[in-house]
Structure 1
Amino acid sequence: MGKTFNFGAGPAKIPEAVMEKAQKEFLNYNGTTGISVLEMSHRSSDFGNIVSSTKKLLRDEMQIPGNYEILLLHGGGTGQFAGIPLNLRAFSKNSESPTADYAVTGSWSNGAAKEAEKYLTVKKVFDAKAPFLGAPIGNTWKRDPDAAYLYYCSNETIHGVEFPHAPETLPDIPLVADVSSNVLSRNFDFTNHGVVFCGTQKNLGAAGLTIAIVREDLIGKHHPFTPAILSYDEMHKNNSLFNTPSTYSIYLTHLVLEWIRDIGGVKKLEELNAQKSQLLYETIDNSGNFFVNNVQKDFRSRMNIPFHVGSVEGKPELEAEFLKKATAAGMIGLKGHRSVGGIRASIYNSVTMEETQKLVDFMKFFQSSHSD
């Protein structure tokens, strides 16, 4: 069997060097313990060192300011859809009926807004509606001066919509950013942010771990009925060890962060991601509408590139053939999300330029074999 090229949206490709080290240490962590991290007590000194080192690596590589706490949590990004309003609702200036602002630019921010409605009043400063093709930022947003926070998803995995920069917020109203699918793919500015969170199964390792980076002044005012497992205060007091965490996922994230550091950090990754996405978008745009990406160019994602084959809306039989032949050529994970169809290439940090070129070469070959 030849090499497999994984363009899946998540769980996604993990760098080969990380997988090789994890394999080497699988039965004997660090070559000294005699056991796997899978078997290791989360209360042991060895695992405590993994936790502290993981947090330090993340702080260094993401340049997280000192007044932010790093929490290692359960529940995926979806768990934070509830955790955020429960922990932050007290910061709304409307104590009788707390509010929060949400920018809806795709399925994930829409899902977050729906979940938050269980715990406070959601006001949508922007609601793109399907098919979610952009995220205009500007004075058209009607921000609520009483809002506890302004929520946005920096990169919509399904629709391929990415904010080029953080939206503006009103004074004293923190931004909350879901960076699950573009964390550490480019420089991130923490200015005005109160909470930045991500699941790790796209750019930072395996499924099972959620990272929340929370400004210190926002910890400790959670609603009384907040489950302890979602409480930033409880997790902070217990160094993210309130209960047994996703130990192996934390270990894998630690290895990914070491890999990021060793290849040149976020600066190097940002350069590579710009090159990879440019190559793919140029191939699409120069195809004479054989391949079509409908997202507004200023908001095109560098991580997730959806496109149709054959026309603006896509031709199902042609897209099915594309996927079948791509799989035969060793390229998997290219089927678009079930809600939108088409094709989607996810080119996260671990996807190499060579792998991206392999996909582009296949796309050009496929087009040439269907030219009139």
Structure 2
Amino acid sequence: MTTATVQPAASSLGAKPSRPTFNFSAGPGCLPEEVLQIARQDMWDIGGAGIGILECSHRGKIYDKVLAEAEADCRRVGNIPSNYKVLFLTGGATSQNFMVPANLLPDGGVADYLTTGYWAEKSYEQARLYSEHVREAFSGKASRYTYCPKDDEVSYDPKAAYVHYCSNNTIMGTEFHHVPRPPAGVPLVCDMSSDIYSRPLDVTPYGLIYAGAQKNLGAAGCTVVIIREDLLERNPRPLPQMLQYRVQAKDESRHNTPPVFNIYLTGQVFKWIERQGGLSAMAKYNAEKAKLIYDAIDSSGGFYRGHARPDSRSLMNITFRLPTEDLDAKFIAEAAKNRMIDMKGHRSTGGIRASTYNAMPRAGCEALAQFMKEFQRTNG
């Protein structure tokens, strides 16, 4: 059996999708069609090797090339300086909730957390297991997590081991549109799971960035970690080797058998982003897509009510409600009949959530905006 070679397009942004269903899931999210076509081919035979990527040894030459290209492409797309290590780990962003304090927070040390949503709060709770001096330098709970704070709203501790925040809150639909500025010398740690590589990124203010791949970078099972080299040497306590960033960096993300296919797929997404014109092109495209849906909300006269404050609206996860829960349910059901799926809000909040990650085609956002107008006309 042979397969035709897929020839990647220079850019496919705005191209008409070949599949009729638009997947608005918050994660795992949709993937670029072009990447799926390439992966389908490489699952059968990668590079003429006679075996597929799923069968490759993680110590063999095929995977050596896959891993080297994934790291190089990640660095090039994100303009990552040479004094940062790029790791491909397992366990999702949830594992980073305990790996970060385990590796960076001394016993009894101080760390500042900006709790702006559900996952940021989970990160804070895990860090509290390591020190009673972990602080909420900002809590958005009183505002129902409707916005991300400016620096003058954050109570930073100049002696903190690090400051942690989540750049995009998938459940609440809020996003930081600035980089927090902790006191000089305090490393910034960020969970970028849902907006990494959706816009230009300056890595240099950060000590550590982590992201589960299943929203903007690939499939569930791979977690990208970008860590400044000097932080590899902190190691404030004995840890199992699997949980040490230093060990993972020394072993080039192969301390154990890595998720070969997931890392391969993330590498293909890096290549796809580069073909689209890089992060500046992605930012423009994502803003245009999100505007279509936010315009439908803002022009509805209150029929659709957004959760996020306008200055903190996410370009990745658009959250809103209808006048009643019954209408929320009807909206979700009728949207699915029109091949727009997985828009039910998180179990903790309800409502509607439309996720418009990098791979969501413009046609999907156009279809949703038009559906919203028609649904309001017939149900308003």
TM range (shorter): over 0.9
From 14, 17, 21, the equivalent of 1:4 is: 21
TM-score (norm 2): 0.93
Separation in structure 1 between the aligned mates of residue 237 and residue 45 of structure 2, nearest angstrom:
43
Q: CA deviation at 1:86?
A: 1.1
Q: 1:317-358 CA distances to partner (integer Å, 9 max, x unpaired)?
A: 111111111010001010000100000000000001111001
SS at match of 1:26: helix
How much identity, in percent, do the aligned residues show?
A: 41
Q: Aligned runs of 1:68-217 on 2, under 5 Å?
A: 68-90=84-106, 97-120=108-131, 121-129=133-141, 131-217=144-230
Please identify runs of 4+ aligned residues in structure 1 that moved more than 6 A.
Answer: none
Residue in structure 2 matching 1:343, options 316, 334, 352:
352
Residues 28-72 of structure 1 show CA distances to partners (whole Å, capped at 9, x for unaligned) of: 112x11112111110001101111100000100011111111011
| Structure 2 residue matching 1:103: 3-state secondary structure | strand
Instruction: Answer yes or no: is the 8 Å Cα contact 1:260–1:266 preserved in 2.
Output: yes
Find the aligned partners of 2:58 and 2:283 in 1 and give their Cα distance: 34
Is 1:366 paired with 2:378? no
User: Hey, what's the Cα distance between the residues in 1 that align with 2:196 and 2:153?
Assistant: 27
- Give the secondary-structure state (helix, strand or coil) at the position aligned to 1:132: coil
- Output the CA distance in 2 between the equivalents of 1:246 and 1:233: 19
2:40 corresponds to: 23
Do residues 279 (structure 1) and 288 (structure 2) align?
A: no
Superposition pairs for residues 273-352 of structure 1, below 5 Å?
A: 273-310=286-323, 315-352=324-361
- For the pair 1:51 / 2:78, whether they are aligned, the reply is no
Moved more, 20-29 or 107-116: 20-29
Instruction: Pick which of 10-19 and 96-105 moved more.
Output: 96-105
Verify the 8 A CA contact 2:103 2:237 in the aligned structure 1.
no
**Residues 131-168 of structure 1: per-residue CA shift (max 9 Å, x gap):** 21012213232211221000000000110110001111
Residue from 49, 54, 62 that aligns with 1:38? 54
SS at match of 1:142: coil
- Structure 2 counterpart of 1:93: none
Structure 1 counterpart SS, 2:113: strand
AA matched with 2:28: P
- Partner amino acid for 1:359? L
Deviations 1:269-296 (CA, angstroms, capped at 9, x unpaired) = 1000111111111110110000110211
**Counterpart Cα distance in 2 of 1:39 and 1:329:** 38
Q: Is the 8 A contact 1:169 1:192 kept in 2?
A: no
Cα-Cα RMSD: 1.3
Partner amino acid, structure 1, of 2:128: E
Count of residues in Structure 1 that have an aligned counterpart in Structure 2: 361
Q: CA deviation at 1:190?
A: 1.9
- Mapped partners of 2:194, 2:232: distance in 1: 25
Instruction: Please tell me the residue identity of whatever aligns with 1:44.
Output: G
Stretches of structure 2 lacking an aligned partner (at least 5 in a row): 1-18
Moved more, 58-67 or 341-350: 58-67
TM-superposed deviation, 1:106: 0.2
Distance 1:10 1:119 in 2: 29
Q: Does 1:239 align with 2:239?
A: no
Q: Distance in 1 between matches of 2:214 and 2:236?
A: 29
Distance 1:140 1:248 in 2: 43
* Partner Cα separation in structure 1 for residue 310 and residue 319 of structure 2: 13
Greater displacement, 208-217 / 221-230: 221-230
